[in-house]
Structure 1
Amino acid sequence: MQSAPTPHPSAAIDWDQLDALKYVDEDAAVAALLADAPLDAAGRASVAAEARNLVVRARGLKRRKGVMESFLEEFGLSNAEGLALMCLAEALLRVPDEQTADKLIAEKISTGQWAEHLGKSDHWLVNAGTFGLMMTGHVVNLPQELKGEASEVVGKLTKRMGEPVVRAGAMQAMRILGEQFVLGRNINAALKRGASMVRAGGATRYSFDMLGEGARTNEDAVRYLAAYANAIDAVGEDARNKGPHASNGISVKLSALHPRYETRQEERVMHELYPRVLQLAEQAKKYNIGLTMDAEEADRLVMSMHLFERLALEPSLKGWEGLGLAIQAYQKRTRALIEFLTQLARKRGTTIQTRLVKGAYWDGEVKRAQIQGRVDFPVWTTKAATDVHYLACARDLFRAGGAIFPQFATHNAHTVAAVRRMGASAGRDQFEFQRLHGMGEALYAALEHPVPVRVYAPVGGHEDLLPYLVRRLLENGANTSFVHSFLDDDVSPDVVAADPMATLEANPHRHRRLPPPPQLFGASRKNSTGRDLSVEADREALRKPKQKLSESGTSVAVDVAVTTALKAHKEWDARGGAERGAILRAMADALQANHDPLCALIAREAGRSLQDGIDEVREAIDFCRYYAAEAERLLAGPIALPSPAGETDHLELHGRGVFVCISPWNFPLAIFTGQLAAALAAGNAVIAKPAEQTPRIAEAAVNLFYEAGLPRDVLQLVQGDGKVGGELVGDPRIAGVAFTGSTEVARIINRTLAAKDGPIVPLIAETGGLNGMFIDTTALKEQVVDDVIASAFQSAGQRCSSLRVLFLPNDTADGILETLLGAMDTLVIGDPADPFTDIGPIIDAEAKANLDKHIAKMRTEAKVLKQLDVSKLGGNFFGPAVIELKSLDQIDKEVFGPILHVVRYDPSDIANVGAKLAAKGYGLTLGVHSRLESFADDVKKAVPAGNVYVNRTIVGAVVGVQPFGGSGLSGTGPKAGGPFYLPRFAEERAISVNIAAQGGDPHLLNL
């Protein structure tokens, strides 16, 4: 038994140091981990033997599996049947209408080979469910010509007493599955069920969590706060002052207590969230029960620790041993975190409960790091590294002595055996294990000397909890592989109890099929990197950039520009694609090196937020590298074509001449640079005409091109208003025009080009869009709201891809709108150079006046549901607004700003509703939120669009990943950042040579 730490003064803990370790190189981290092995050779051998014995003993138990473990063993998460069930569980219970529920059941169940699983499980409920699913599959898996609407088929063939049997059975199956995930629908039910399981020997104590999606509105947060407070009262009264280590406790998810629980809003979080957490902690202390802060995404860690330190040192919580938090072994910096926690506990003078988990957001962390261009992942990429790191963290927790009360959350036999050995070696008997409700019971029942086991138990309605829990389970399918095989007699105990140290030693590297974010695109090009606004050092670098940009005037007159570029064209074209590509790569490197001052300049001149600026600089970099690779692929030399004997045939691509590139103010660097890079890569000399609102950004970019080695006469910059652009377009010497901007200006350019005598020149135009997003009743409300806010209001709605019309199903529109309008209140509108700002100003007074005019009209003709008040900000700020239309007929063109129009509709009428949107003539971006692939297909058929996004935002296209561009009133194509873009800037030459005229074909003669 360890005594509590003696309090003593110490320096403030610099939690920000953790950010320096956030993206540490994984191979180096693996080497360091192996060099400081958590077990010696004797320990490893002993643990391996004990782990194997655990598996054998668990398999020999009479009552060894729950329904959840039997399900995972039979179906797993890697086959069609298991995934179908999980997808059904994630969505079915929230679907309010029978027709959509039938479609969802039909679509998910018809994909499975259920008969292959029939009777194979040793749990009767799994076998019964498999039989029902097999019969359902027979019903819905009919020939396509007999299917028709899934609801009609299911209804006709299975309807009994007014309700389709299939739907009723599937609903009941999901409720049964919910029982395996969720301990009770409310805290009292959970306490009652938990007490019965304790009496039956399945657990010794619980940690209850009022789980679900994080708060999106302040109303959500207040509701969660009340649920937690109610739970603490119930658990506290039931505990009868047994102390936090011996009684049930509560786990709190901080993202449920504040809608903006993110580092960029830390000051606000401390002001608004902290009092709520303190209230719960003081309440838990009153009952002397445990309160644990759950772990969340890596970006939130440092902010969480700032909050936790403040909480730990609160005078009102002094002496209370129930304060705790969860830490994640899959993060590479967790051992440093444990060191800091130990310092905090000693500073506090009271033990801190620390729950060590593997981690439950792995898939999301990997994807986020790739999308945001991080230098590495914040998490380990192999299960072996995570498992070994877990053991190293466990050893550190034991070494902390009385400062830490360790809680080891695991379902892994090897981990359990290793932890017990470490505890014995350290002379520590004050610790506990933890497992999830529905899993791991046999593992702990098989221990020869029982240990305290706490069960982590979600509490709440299945329709609220299943979506969250299922996504976490699917996201970490690899980490649940132990659960799949632990009780499977077909898998050798030696395999199940394998030593992760041996696995890691055999391959001491990151996952070879998961390259770090900079290598996402392989050998073709390096991924761009950007600042991480969750890191204080990165925020400071953007506030005060160290470098300075050259913004000296380089603009010339129209005639001078055309004459100079025309003279430079032939020599530039003759350099070839490889040489031009090298200069573009150098330009990409120059942009990367000047990332911070460019972001600052974009905020200052274009009014875009710092995150917008980060994304834009990265996009400009990606354009340069992508078109460099394309130039090397397409223009490095002649392309050989199939030829008859005695002849050679080749195709060559060359620059057309002088290209005029006219770019917009809303992407003053990315689109400006992208157009120039493509035209230059193809071998053209270029005249750049930027928007008159953003001249300095254009100057800086052109100077960087020159610094990267581009001959000055090849690229000419012409500043000015629309008249200057018209003069350029009308010049007979121009060989092509690339334009991004309004549909109206594109029409004018098109007419100007058509009216000219001389060669017919191409117009590559990307214009605006009346972009729609269609929601059905299977969509998850919280995901919809997140993506709608980003799509409609990011960059103050000043993106051609921004969401303009949101189509909500009649059955769920009210709930989605309530959350959406509440979430708008959490947005921060203000100085775009402030890292904490979400939305900056409108570009200029004229643009703001147009928005004011539109919303004034809508106040009389439609229903303005909400507009945020920005009157105190003055200037060109415009409050984001949501307007409900009576009909789609009330809007015919794009309104360029943070105004979202809402139309209610019936998803079964998608063909007609979609046709009305398509009739407007635009075709840029389109969004769908649904768990039904068939619904997404129906939307795509009904609404032509250049870019379709399913279950995500409709903004933020990535170069080479989502080539961007529209059709109809939205552009001419081809797509920027795509494989067909560069050839449009070039002209083709086919060259055929009769080599037989020289006396024969050497190749043919040498056969």
Structure 2
Amino acid sequence: MTLRFGLPEFQNDPLFERLQGTYRAPEEKIVAEFLETLNPFYTSEKDQIRVRAGKWVEAVRTHKLSSLNVQSMLQVYPLSSERGRSIMSLAEALLRIPDSYTAGLLIRDKISELNWSATEAQVPIQLAGWGLEFLRKFILEKESKLLNRLSDPFILRVFKIGMQQVANQFILGTTIEKAIKRAEPSALRRYSYDMLGEGARTWEMAHRYKGAYLHAIETLKSADHLEAQSISVKLSALHPKYFVGHAEDVLKNLVPTLIEIAEAARSARLAMTIDAEEVARLELSLEVMDRVMNSESLKAWNGFGLAVQAYQKRMLPTLDWLCEKAQSYKMPLNVRLVKGAYWDTEIKLDQVAGLSDYALFTKKSATDISYLRGAQRIFEGEGHLRPQFATHNAFTISSVIAMAKGRRDYEFQRLQGMGEPLYQAVQKDYEIPCRIYAPVGEHQDLLAYLVRRLLENGANSSFVNKIYDADLAISSALDDPFQKFEKTQPSRNHNIPLPSHMYGDSRRNSKGFDMQDISGLRTLESEIQKVSLEKISVNSRHSQGERREIINPGDSKHVVGGIQECTLEDLENALELAHQNWESWEMTPASKRAEILEKASQLFEKNAPRLLGLLQCEGGKTLADAISELREAVDFCRYYANQAILDFENPTRLPGPTGEVNTISLRGRGVFACISPWNFPLAIFIGQVTAALASGNAVIAKPASQTPLIAAIAIELLHEAGVPQNILHFLPGKASLIGNMLVSDSRISGVVFTGSTKTAKHINAQLANRNGPLVPLIAETGGLNAMIVDSSALPEQVVDSVIISAFQSAGQRCSALRILYLQEDIYDTVMPMLIAAMKELKVGNPSRLESDLGPVIDKATCDEIEEYLTQNSKRIIARGSVPSDLQGSYIAPAIVKLSGIEELEKEVFGPVLHVAKFKARELDQVISQINEKGYGLTMGVMSRIESTISHIQKHAHVGNLYINRSMIGAVVGVQPFGGEGLSGTGPKAGGPFYLHRFAVERTFTDNITAMGGNPELLTLGEG
């Protein structure tokens, strides 16, 4: 069998290859090259650049801000302070909360714990501070009647007016008509209208955004000020799945839409710029742009353009690509050079993904240097690239002016509500146009998006913050990036470890694969094809000589190396060997056991193509899920290796009387039975086995009968790493035979099990009834996992998190979301978006990148879920679809409406989400109902109210609580995973206490005075 990802056919030219080659290149190398090119310019111009920029900073500091200006407020309540962040949290959430009760909770949450006095501020800010301080004291004194008072329409109206004032600083108008009326265009003041903030989650949203763009263009067409106006278009707003995995559909459906919008803009004599997106989407954006430029209807148009982010390491080859395309199509391109807006998010994403390096610069000074090198390159593209420099930095502006050498064919750009005094100062000296990037839309829709921009531009390291700080010397405020590299060589920010080193010296992060890097995906696809599954050999003694068929539910039947089920004789031999030899392994130093597990982790990564291919074929995993599972297995090896050294290598000395040594040590128990499930046939399997081995135990490993091949290869690699054959035994077979016999045998010193609660109870009963010592059962079982969403949550974030939590892996995760509690006040807002987003999920062959959902594990599981849905057909409010030509155990995702969790009798282990409403004041009742079901595995909370989050944390009986994110994907050592009640015995897998359960504790007491005195006491000296 050959697995194919269905990768898109992107352009294949040297510039595109260079673009890919610099994706994660070393930061120091790129910055050194930039400095080498820029230094001659800087050396000759630095004095004038600094003098000019310093003059503008002085002018800004003497400029009197309007009393209600947000910048004035941020000088009193900076974003680095709790007060500043509280104000922004109010601004981000308050206007979209429809009910007064939750709005009152948010207000109390953000103001009651802080001192709001602002005695040194301008009078309006002082008055606002006094009002907030009065309300704070009022809250503390009248806590019992607080919510009724805070929910008073007058108080809420006052607060919402205040937040609307914040919004008005950054939003030009709630409609394009209002924005045009408010705009003040002139020869030096231009506008680029941005119609929205967040991207589309559904096709309905995409069509609505397309309509908004076309309406704005038509409206601007009839306005008086046409020539210098433009519109900004966000590609992710025009397609709900703007990712590489869906590139084929993006290119099929988005390109014609973008051409239509571009034709309208050209007809209206407007420029159109494609906005920057996350760095992972760059290649896709360029491919879309190339196909649009190739349209006959747009030949010779000079109004098209792209925003390019300077914080990307691929900035320079991107500009080279744009220049080449502009020449090739004879179409001059506008280039809006920006610093970048998603820096903190991009850093986190690369760390979580375990990538080789970051796709962007980790130092602000490196981004500033990159920006100036980009400006230089844009000027070099004279006639092909039309320069537009978006910046609020005086040094950058001064440098660009120096680079221009008197040219006038360029412009600056700034955000609406930011940097106006600076550009007023600049334009007194230079009549260079400045374009205002002006968001247009409803406050409640745009403010969350714009607050993130404010946080970016208002951070302490930002020039926007420094320029108003009168205590900071002008030379320091200028923040000359060249000075940062005068005495030191370029390097990355060592305070931000590489993704592989994010855990410090304790262990290396597992190696990831970039799911948006087309070049890397092609290489991975080729490597998987080289180890085609027909050629996989399993050296286990339980592998068959002949080959057997397994059903790949995502495709058709394939012949692969089979696994023979073990016999009772095999079981007896394994038990006896393990029982006789386990002490030799237990006596092996923990550091040596750790060394073997570390080597195993390296072998797993070396054999990644082999394991990933089999996870897709035998396990029915999508590539993303397969990669995550392989990485989790690697993380288990390394984490437990490190924990073994920490906890098992040396005894821990305990305090006690002088003349006596007291220690406690952890030692292996004997032989552990490891019984793993099919839904994580590699990660959970390896997690169980390596935990037992690290603790000094022998292991009898019994994999799920549906996925024996993956387990067999994992065992083979552990043996290759150095785990003795007589210590680690592989026993595939039916649970009814092998499992029961294994658990009942008195030579088993402990059982670790992941699976159903029913089976865990059965195992527990078997252990209790057998002869011999009492032994531990370490069980992780299922859950009726809930997510609680109140009306302060951002709907787009809710939909994203719910879709991932409920439907990723076809819902076949223990941690998957089973019931969503939506506050009734936002039910009618969130549900249509959620239903539409679910219907967009593509069910298909898991080897294809375009597939969002693969199959469930087998036909029996498929039939069971379909039977449940048939029985509850009247409650189904939405159902996805399965392509008619798709053969296998595929299930269309479904949403089922319930009144509450009390109606959910059992866990439905598949892509089925239940939804229930709740009233804002019923939160305690909801928590109680969830607790009363007795499960306690995972829970999600989506809220902007810290007190609500804290309340749920205190009262929910749940093992893993996730706030404002998805509920799945626990990371080893970061989010130790496991439940309580009916969801497991604990301790948590991948946590600091897990190995302890695999061990016995032994205390050693030595009276050292018995052999003649107490040397420690006698040589102690006098204090």
- Please report the TM-score for the alignment, with normalisation by the length of structure 1: 0.94
The answer to whether 1:120 aligns with 2:99 is no
| Preserved contact between residue 463 and residue 479 of structure 2 (Cα < 8 Å) | no
Q: Which of 363, 370, 378 in structure 2 is aligned with 1:389?
A: 370
- 1:843 is aligned to 2:842: no
Tell me how large the CA RMSD over aligned residues is: 1.9
User: Match of 2:527, SS?
Assistant: coil
What is the CA distance between 1:714 and its match in structure 2?
1.3
User: Which of 497, 503, 511 is equivalent to 1:515?
Assistant: 497
Alignment of 1:399-438 (within 5 A): 399-424=380-405, 428-438=407-417
CA distances 1:768-795 after superposition (whole Å, capped 9, x unpaired): 0000000100011110000000000000
Choose which of 74, 97, 102 in structure 1 pairs with 2:76: 74
Give the Cα separation in 2 of the matches to 1:149 and 1:210.
42
2:515 to 533, 550, 573: 533
1:291 alignment partner, SS class = strand
Separation in 2, partners of 1:12, 1:332? 19
Alignment check: 8 A CA contact 2:392 2:464 kept: yes
CA contact (8 A) 2:107 2:150 kept: no
Q: 1:902 aligns with which of 911, 915, 921?
A: 915
Counterpart check, 1:136 vs 2:117: no
The alignment status of 1:974 with 2:987, answered yes or no, reads yes
Give 2:263's aligned residue: 282
| Shift in Å, 1:15 | 2.7
Which among 183, 191, 212 is matched to residue 206 of structure 1?
A: 191
Among candidates 92, 102, 105, match of residue 103 of structure 1? 105
Q: Secondary structure at the match of 1:915?
A: helix
From 416, 425, 441, give the equivalent of 2:420: 441
Could you tell me how far apart the structure 1 residues matched to 2:145 and 2:611 are? Answer: 53
Contact 1:398 1:428 in 2 (8 A): no
Contact 2:600–2:721 (CA under 8 A) maintained in structure 1? yes
Deviation, 1:477, is 4.7
Report the CA distance between 1:511 and its aligned residue.
Answer: 1.8
Which of 634, 657, 663 aligns to 1:644? It is: 657
Q: Conserved in 1, the CA contact under 8 Å of 2:303 and 2:334? A: yes
Partner of 2:7: none
* Matching of residues 643-792 of structure 1 within 5 Å: 643-722=656-735, 723-792=737-806
Q: 2:178 aligns with which of 164, 189, 200?
A: 189
Match of 2:970 in 1: 957
User: Structure 2: which 5+ residue stretches go unaligned?
Assistant: 1-10, 543-565
How big is the shift at 1:446? 0.8
**Equivalent runs, 1:20-59 vs 2, <5 Å:** 20-37=21-38, 39-59=41-61
1:20 shift after superposition: 2.5
- Whether the 8 Å contact between 1:292 and 1:326 is mirrored in structure 2 is yes
Residue 257 of structure 1 pairs with residue 267 of structure 2: no
Q: Which moved more, 1:609-618 or 1:26-35?
A: 26-35
Q: Give the C-alpha shift of residue 591 in structure 1.
A: 1.0
User: In the alignment, is residue 92 of structure 1 matched against residue 94 of structure 2?
Assistant: yes
Q: Distance in 1 between matches of 2:524 and 2:893?
A: 26
After TM superposition, give the deviation of residue 974 of structure 1 in Å. Answer: 0.1
Task: Say yes or no: does 1:227 pair with 2:208.
Answer: no
Letter in 1 for 2:707: T
**1:128: Cα distance to partner?**
3.9
Structure 2 CA distance for aligned equivalents of residues 270 and 126 of structure 1: 51
How has the CA–CA distance of structure 1 residues 673 and 658 changed in structure 2, closer, same or farther, with 3 Å as cutoff? same
- Alpha-carbon deviation of 1:64? 8.0
1:7 aligned residue: none
Q: How many Å separate the matches in 1 of 2:244 and 2:224?
A: 35
Q: 691-700 or 106-115, which moves further after superposition? A: 106-115
- Residue 540 of structure 2 corresponds to 553
1:178 corresponds, among 143, 150, 167, to 167
2:814 is aligned with what amino acid? C
Q: Distance in 2 between matches of 1:628 and 1:217?
A: 45
CA distance in structure 2 between the partners assigned to 1:900 and 1:414 by the alignment: 53
Offset, 1:540: 2.2
Partner Cα distance (2:461, 2:221) in 1: 33
What letter matches 1:326 in structure 2? Answer: A
Amino acid in structure 2 at the alignment position of 1:151 = L
Deviation at 1:176, TM superposition (A): 0.4
- Of 880-889 and 380-389, more deviation after overlay is shown by 880-889
Q: With the length of structure 2 as denominator, give the TM-score of the two structures.
A: 0.93
1:133-174: per-residue Cα shift (whole Å, max 9, x none)?
Answer: 23322222x16xx5247413535xxx5xxx342x22211100
| AA partner of residue 437 (structure 1) | Q
Displacement, 1:907?
2.7
Describe the superposition over 1:796-846 as per-residue Cα deviations: whole angstroms up to 9, x where unpaired: 000000000000111111211100011112212111111221110010011
Shift of 1:480: 6.6
Rounded to whole Å, the distance in 2 between the matches of 1:239 and 1:293 is 24
SS at match of 1:36: helix
- Structure-2 residue corresponding to 1:608: 621
How far the C-alpha of 1:676 sits from its partner, in A, is 0.7
Residues 309 and 315 in structure 2, CA contact (< 8 A), matched pair in contact too: yes
Secondary structure of 1:40's aligned partner: helix
Query: Retained in 1: the 8 A contact 2:629–2:682?
Result: yes
Q: Distance in 2 between matches of 1:602 and 1:751?
A: 33
Cα deviation digits, residues 473-494 of structure 1 (max 9, x gap): 3356548721122133332222
Flag structure 1 segments of 5+ consecutive residues without an equivalent.
1-9
| Mapping for residues 335-374 of structure 1, pairs under 5 Å | 335-374=316-355
Task: Tell me the SS of whatever aligns to 1:544.
Answer: helix
What are the superposed Cα offsets for residues 706-741 of structure 1, whole Å, 9 maximum, x if unpaired?
A: 111221211100000112111111111000000001
Does 1:874 find its partner at 2:859? no
Structure 1: how far apart are the matches of 2:13 and 2:124?
Answer: 55
Confirm or deny: 8 A CA contact 2:15 2:317 kept in the other structure.
Answer: no
Q: 1:130–1:528: structure 2 CA closer, same or farther, 3 Å change rule?
A: same
Compared CA separation, residues 570 and 149, structure 1 to 2 (3 A): farther
- Distance in 1 between residues matched to 2:525 and 2:25, nearest whole Å: 24
2: CA distance, partners of 1:726 / 1:505? 71
Give the alignment partner of residue 808 of structure 1, picking from 814, 822, 832.
822
Over 3 Å counting, the alpha-carbon distance change for 1:63 and 1:566 in structure 2 is closer
Tell me the amino acid that sits aligned with residue 441 of structure 1.
E
In structure 2, which of residues 249, 253, 262 is the aligned counterpart of residue 272 of structure 1? 253
1:319 matched to 2:319? The reply is no
Matches of 2:190 and 2:734, distance apart in 1:
72
Partner of 1:592: 605
1:847 counterpart letter in structure 2? T
* SS of residue in 1 equivalent to 2:492: coil
Once residues 458 and 408 of structure 2 are traced to their aligned partners in structure 1, the CA distance between those partners, rounded to angstroms, is 32
Tell me, in whole angstroms, the C-alpha distance in 2 between the residues paired with 1:179 and 1:219: 28
Which residue does the alignment assign to 2:444?
A: 463
In the TM superposition, residue 379 of structure 1 has moved relative to its aligned partner by 1.4
SS in structure 1 at match of 2:38: coil
Contact 1:865 / 1:884 at 8 angstroms: preserved in 2?
no
Q: Contact (CA 8 Å) 1:668, 1:697: kept in 2 or not?
A: yes
Alpha-carbon distance between aligned partners in 2 of 1:926 and 1:662, rounded to the nearest angstrom: 26
Q: After superposing the two structures, state which structure 1 stretch, 427-436 or 60-69, moved more.
A: 60-69
The total of aligned residue pairs comes to 974
The separation in 2 between residues aligned to 1:550 and 1:634, in whole angstroms, is 37
**Match of residue 823 from structure 1:** 837
User: Are 2:935 and 1:922 aligned?
Assistant: yes
Alignment of 1:296 onto 2:277: yes
Counterpart AA for 2:931: A
The verdict on how the C-alpha distance between 1:23 and 1:599 changes in structure 2, with shifts beyond 3 A counting, is same
Distance 1:331 1:64, change over 3 A: farther
Alignment CA distance shift 1:523-1:550 (3 Å): farther
1:363 deviates by 1.2
Percent identical = 43
SS across alignment from 1:332: coil
